[in-house]
């Protein structure tokens, strides 16, 4: 999940005047005619006139700095009694509404010193004001982004009636903590009672991330305001025995006796969210992002804690391990000379290995793997120390709930998270409903802090919203009964873990069947459909399991881990020195491109298109265009023609030392080779049925990088690592060359698009 701006950019013609509705009771006063609207700044085509276009799908957005303004000029002076401002998430913490007759002399009509993100606020002025100009003077941001307004509306006939008293966050003298009691970890409430946090993400009055002319969840017309809606939403969640408001939820739900969480979100200094955090600009943006929110929530009684971020790319390109070696070290090596992060990397490599960056990038094997792991730890140490320091500075009362790792994290990163956070949070989707206990034991052993599941879900093809479930985390089942079964099995297993303190379902409502605006997700993740109807089979199971979760946790007998369970790493190789000669792996000229099996992250643009075999001066070659997308990427299987075939069609590669590929790949585009043993399959199988002693493991080579020229890449079998995202995780950690099922080429996501021409694939 990313920050949900929820904006759809529409084409808006700039007209000489705008009619703005006054929303008056009884006989309406003439609507004020706006001559023009200006602003101190705008970005991303979010122009000032979008704040008065009567659409809650378009908005004005300023530059990412304080002291910005939005100014309206009326055609004629207008008597004003009040104003309504519909803030986007990027709201003002402190701002003034100013009025003027001539645009030169200004009077303060209203002042707000505790604004909140996403707030829809109606303000009555102290007295009627005759104005030709009105300015919203945005003094201080509530977030690290700029200022952003969906709509402004003016009251021209009389003051607003029945404006509810501005609700203040209930203040507390004691706050939530986490601790171990009688062998189990628990959250502890301000009342001293222990509990498991059972939450739901994206609890909103309307879906804020939809496309134009689409179907989507919106219950705003059913409620007087967000305050009334929040009461009803909390009542519904309590009915199902949930007890926490999860991430990306409406702040209107934060004022009641239900714990809630706040996502901070730290803007990066480059396009990469973890590069360059050694730049002083990172500190500046981190402090700005943290300070406004933490000051606002510092004394809040019901705040469970802060999430720093979500699914950061700790593996360099994405936030989850994909079986290749690209890491943060590689990303920092791309920084320009003089960049603070590149200087830090150069210092690290020189002190640890006595090599320059250029020299080290040629290193392969165990030393390269170690350096990448250690440098990721350096980045994490800097990241967590800076951000947690600012959180503690502005709010010493509340917990830091981690960064919501995407299923896994490098070991050194987990250690750093544990040093600075109160909880290690993990987003973990489990399609086969068999939770990976080894993975969570390692999280706890490395971080030495309790674990919290911050995203999980199941989606069914049978749903009331028309969701096709073609994009998003693949936890697809057939029926709503299957979703209920998934919730039961997942939570029941999680409650066995003594260090598990909470689980948060993703999400409150179904996504639009036309897809989420920023990535196309169209999944049946909701506990209600887009029409606000409950999925009763699912919610009945949620109600039952949520009620029993604390007792299950209390009675669990599973021990705390006392050692790290080794996963991944270089594999031993089961090989025989029988001196086989170099042999073609496949006949490029004989490949039918139309029959090649392509696999890709369908939630993004990732994919591979073949144009068939081509004639070249050096012989035939296979030509393809690769789009790695923005997720985990794509790959395809290379057909094999080796004659030594086993009973199940797998191949005997004993006697060969490795695989050699002659190819031309777009400059800077990385790739890896995946090799699967006989019996390899998705994670969580009860049995992996390989032949000839193979036990269904999967292996990945070191990463190669395209140069834009024809190169020959060699991948020795003794430099392959065990993959932890596919294959038998309980295998013998041995590359069984006597039964290799298939070889794939893999292109990791977020690495661009480019051409790939393959000339030869050879065993040597």
Half-sphere exposure of 183 (CA within 13 A, CB side): 11
Percent of the chain exceeding pLDDT 90 equals: 72
pLDDT value at residue 723: 87
Domain ranges for the chain: 18-155, 194-555, 572-763
- Contacts of residue 150, defined as CB under 8 A and 6 or more positions apart, other chains included, come to 51, 55, 56, 58, 59, 86, 87, 88
pLDDT at residue 10 greater than cutoff 60? no
Give the whole-angstrom CA distance, residue 433 versus residue 558.
19
194-555 CATH, one of 3.20.20.80, 3.30.365.10, 3.40.50.2000, 2.30.40.10: 3.20.20.80
Confidence label for 593 from pLDDT (cuts 50, 70 and 90): confident
Which whole number is the average pLDDT over 459-473?
Answer: 95
pLDDT at residue 578 greater than cutoff 90? no
Which whole number is the average pLDDT over 236-260?
Answer: 96
Handedness of CA 224, 227, 228, 229 (dihedral sign): positive
289-330 residue pLDDT tens: 898 889 989 999 999 999 999 999 999 988 887 765 568 999
Using alpha carbons, select from 622, 19, 2, 78 the residue that is nearest to residue 265. Answer: 2
pLDDT value at residue 525: 98
Which whole number is the average pLDDT over 706-726?
Answer: 90
Give the whole-angstrom CA distance, residue 317 versus residue 750.
6
* Tokens (6 digits) for 79: 């008597």
3-state DSSP helix/strand/coil % of the chain, to nearest 5: 20, 30, 50
- Say how many C-beta atoms besides its own lie within 10 A of residue 609's C-beta: 11
Phi-psi region of 496 (alpha: psi -120 to 50; beta: other; left: phi over 0): alpha
Which whole number is the average pLDDT over 378-397?
Answer: 98
Residue showing tokens 């030709």: 132
Using alpha carbons, select from 397, 441, 457, 449 the residue that is nearest to residue 425. Answer: 449
Using alpha carbons, select from 220, 249, 412, 219 the residue that is nearest to residue 327. Answer: 412
pLDDT value at residue 715: 94
Pairing of strands 572-574, 734-736: parallel
Give the whole-angstrom CA distance, residue 78 versus residue 99.
10
Question: Which CATH superfamily is 572-763 part of?
Answer: Galactose-binding lectin (2.60.120.430)
* Tokens (6 digits) for 345: 């990397």
Confidence label for 446 from pLDDT (cuts 50, 70 and 90): very high
Which whole number is the average pLDDT over 101-124?
Answer: 92
pLDDT value at residue 615: 59
Point out the least confidently predicted range of 190-199, 251-260, 380-389. Answer: 251-260
Which whole number is the average pLDDT over 555-571?
Answer: 86
DSSP H/E element including 237: helix 226-239
Give the whole-angstrom CA distance, residue 21 versus residue 34.
11
pLDDT at residue 13 greater than cutoff 60? no
Residue 124 CB burial class (10 angstroms; 0-12, 13-18, ≥19): middle
pTM of this structure: 0.79
pLDDT at residue 22 greater than cutoff 80? no
What's the chain's average pLDDT? 90
- Tell me if 77 sits within 8 A of 153, measured CB to CB: no
* Secondary structure E strands in 383-475: 399-400, 405-406, 424-427, 451-456, 459-460
pLDDT value at residue 26: 43
Which whole number is the average pLDDT over 15-28?
Answer: 42
The dihedrals phi and psi of 706, each to the nearest 5 degrees, come to -65, 145
Give the whole-angstrom CA distance, residue 72 versus residue 52.
10
- Tell me if 132 sits within 8 A of 116, measured CB to CB: no
Half-sphere exposure of 619 (CA within 13 A, CB side): 10
Give the whole-angstrom CA distance, residue 310 versus residue 454.
10
Confidence label for 567 from pLDDT (cuts 50, 70 and 90): low
Point out the least confidently predicted range of 1-5, 114-118, 425-429, 479-483. Answer: 1-5
Confidence label for 579 from pLDDT (cuts 50, 70 and 90): confident
ω into 276 cis (within 30 of 0): yes
Between residues 569 and 534, the one the model is more confident about: 534
pLDDT at residue 504 greater than cutoff 70? yes
Confidence label for 47 from pLDDT (cuts 50, 70 and 90): very high
Which whole number is the average pLDDT over 250-279?
Answer: 92
Residue showing tokens 């010193």: 113
Question: Which CATH superfamily is 18-155 part of?
Answer: Galactose-binding domain-like (2.60.120.260)
In sequence order, the β-bridge partners of residue 288 are: none
406-444 residue pLDDT tens: 999 999 999 999 999 999 999 999 988 999 999 999 999
Give the whole-angstrom CA distance, residue 517 versus residue 521.
8
Shared fold status for 194-555 and 572-763: no
Count how many residues are written for the chain: 764
Helices (H) and strands (E) in the chain, counts: 10, 37
Largest CA-CA distance found in the chain, in angstroms, rounded: 96
Between residues 690 and 119, the one the model is more confident about: 690
Using alpha carbons, select from 164, 267, 283 the residue that is nearest to residue 223. Answer: 164
Give the whole-angstrom CA distance, residue 10 versus residue 37.
18
pLDDT at residue 619 greater than cutoff 80? no
* Tokens (6 digits) for 668: 């800077």
- Contacts of residue 274, defined as CB under 8 A and 6 or more positions apart, other chains included, come to 268, 312, 313, 314, 328, 331, 379, 383
Which whole number is the average pLDDT over 63-72?
Answer: 94
Which whole number is the average pLDDT over 598-603?
Answer: 86
125-177 residue pLDDT tens: 999 999 999 999 999 988 778 999 999 999 999 999 988 777 789 999 999 99
- Contacts of residue 527, defined as CB under 8 A and 6 or more positions apart, other chains included, come to 200, 240, 505, 508, 509, 534, 535, 538, 539, 542
Give the whole-angstrom CA distance, residue 139 versus residue 763.
66
Distance of CA 58 to the CA centre of its chain: 23
635-690 residue pLDDT tens: 999 888 887 789 999 999 999 999 999 999 999 898 999 999 999 998 767 789 89
pLDDT at residue 580 greater than cutoff 50? yes
pLDDT at residue 95 greater than cutoff 60? yes
pLDDT value at residue 123: 95
């Amino acid at each position: 999940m990313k920050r949900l701006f929820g904006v759809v950019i529409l084409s808006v013609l700039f007209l000489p005047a705008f009619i703005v509705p006054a929303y008056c009771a009884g006989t309406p006063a003439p609507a004020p005619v706006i001559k023009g609207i200006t602003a101190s700044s705008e970005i991303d085509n979010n122009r000032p006139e979008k704040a008065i276009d009567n659409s809650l799908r378009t908005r004005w957005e300023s530059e990412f700095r304080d002291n910005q303004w939005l100014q309206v000029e009326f055609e004629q002076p207008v008597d004003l009694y009040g104003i309504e401002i519909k803030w986007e998430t990027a709201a003002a913490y402190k701002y003034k509404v100013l009025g003027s007759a001539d645009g030169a002399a200004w009077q303060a009509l209203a002042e707000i010193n505790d604004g909140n993100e996403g707030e829809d606020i109606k303000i009555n002025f102290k007295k009627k004001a005759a104005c030709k100009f009105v300015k919203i003077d945005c003094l201080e941001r509530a977030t690290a982004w700029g200022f952003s307004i969906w709509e402004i509306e003016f009251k021209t006939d009389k003051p607003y009636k029945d404006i509810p008293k501005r609700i203040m966050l209930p203040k507390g003298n004691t706050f939530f903590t986490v601790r171990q009691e009688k062998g189990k970890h628990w959250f502890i409430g301000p009342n001293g009672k222990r509990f498991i946090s059972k939450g739901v993400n994206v609890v909103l009055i309307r879906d804020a991330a939809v496309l134009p002319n689409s179907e989507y969840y919106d219950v705003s017309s059913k409620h007087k305001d967000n305050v009334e809606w929040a009461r009803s939403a909390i009542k519904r969640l309590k009915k199902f025995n949930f007890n926490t408001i999860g991430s990306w939820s409406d702040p209107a739900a934060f004022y009641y006796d239900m714990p809630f969480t706040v996502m901070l979100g730290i803007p990066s200094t480059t396009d990469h969210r973890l590069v360059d955090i050694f730049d002083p600009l990172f500190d500046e943006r981190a402090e700005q992002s943290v300070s406004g929110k933490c000051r606002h929530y510092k004394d809040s009684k019901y705040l469970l804690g802060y999430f720093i971020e979500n699914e950061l790319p700790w593996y360099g390109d994405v936030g989850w391990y994909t079986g290749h070696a690209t890491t943060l070290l590689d990303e920092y090596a791309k920084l320009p000379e003089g960049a603070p992060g590149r200087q830090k990397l150069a210092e690290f490599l020189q002190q640890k290995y006595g090599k320059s960056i250029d020299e080290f990038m040629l290193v392969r094997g165990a030393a390269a793997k170690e350096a990448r792991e250690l440098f990721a730890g350096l980045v994490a140490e800097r990241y967590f120390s800076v951000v947690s320091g600012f959180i503690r500075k502005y709010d010493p009362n509340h917990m830091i709930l981690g960064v919501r790792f995407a299923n896994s994290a490098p070991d050194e990163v987990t250690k750093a998270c544990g040093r600075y956070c109160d909880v290690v949070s993990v987003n973990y989707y489990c399609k086969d409903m068999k939770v990976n206990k080894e993975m969570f034991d390692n999280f706890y052993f490395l971080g030495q802090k309790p674990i919290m599941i911050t995203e999980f879900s199941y989606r069914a093809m049978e749903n009331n919203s028309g969701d096709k479930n073609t994009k998003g985390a693949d936890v697809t089942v057939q029926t709503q009964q299957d979703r209920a079964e998934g919730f039961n099995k997942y939570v029941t297993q999680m409650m066995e873990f003594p260090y598990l303190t909470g689980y948060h379902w993703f999400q409150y409502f179904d996504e639009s069947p036309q897809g989420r605006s920023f990535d196309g997700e169209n999944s049946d993740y909701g506990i209600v459909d887009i029409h606000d109807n409950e999925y009763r089979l699912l919610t009945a199971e949620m109600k039952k399991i949520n009620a029993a979760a604390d007792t299950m946790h209390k009675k669990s007998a599973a021990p705390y881990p006392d050692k790290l369970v080794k996963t991944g790493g270089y594999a031993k190789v089961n090989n025989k020195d029988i001196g086989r000669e170099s042999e073609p792996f496949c006949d490029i000229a004989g490949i039918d491109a139309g029959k090649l099996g392509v696999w890709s992250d369908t939630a993004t643009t990732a994919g591979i298109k073949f144009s068939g075999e081509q004639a070249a001066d050096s012989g035939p070659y296979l030509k393809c265009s690769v789009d790695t997308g923005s997720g985990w990427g794509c790959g395809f299987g290379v057909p094999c023609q080796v004659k030594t075939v086993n009973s199940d069609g797998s191949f005997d590669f004993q006697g060969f030392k490795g695989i050699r590929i002659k190819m031309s790949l777009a400059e800077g585009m990385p790739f890896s080779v995946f090799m699967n043993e006989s019996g390899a399959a998705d994670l969580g199988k009860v049995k992996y049925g390989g032949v000839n002693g193979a036990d269904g493991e999967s292996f990945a080579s070191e990463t190669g990088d395209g140069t834009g020229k024809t190169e020959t890449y060699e991948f020795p079998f003794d430099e392959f690592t065990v993959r932890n995202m596919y294959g038998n995780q309980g295998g013998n950690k041995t590359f069984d060359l006597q039964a290799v099922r298939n070889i794939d080429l893999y292109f990791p996501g977020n690495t661009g698009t480019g051409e790939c021409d393959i000339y030869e694939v050879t065993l040597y």
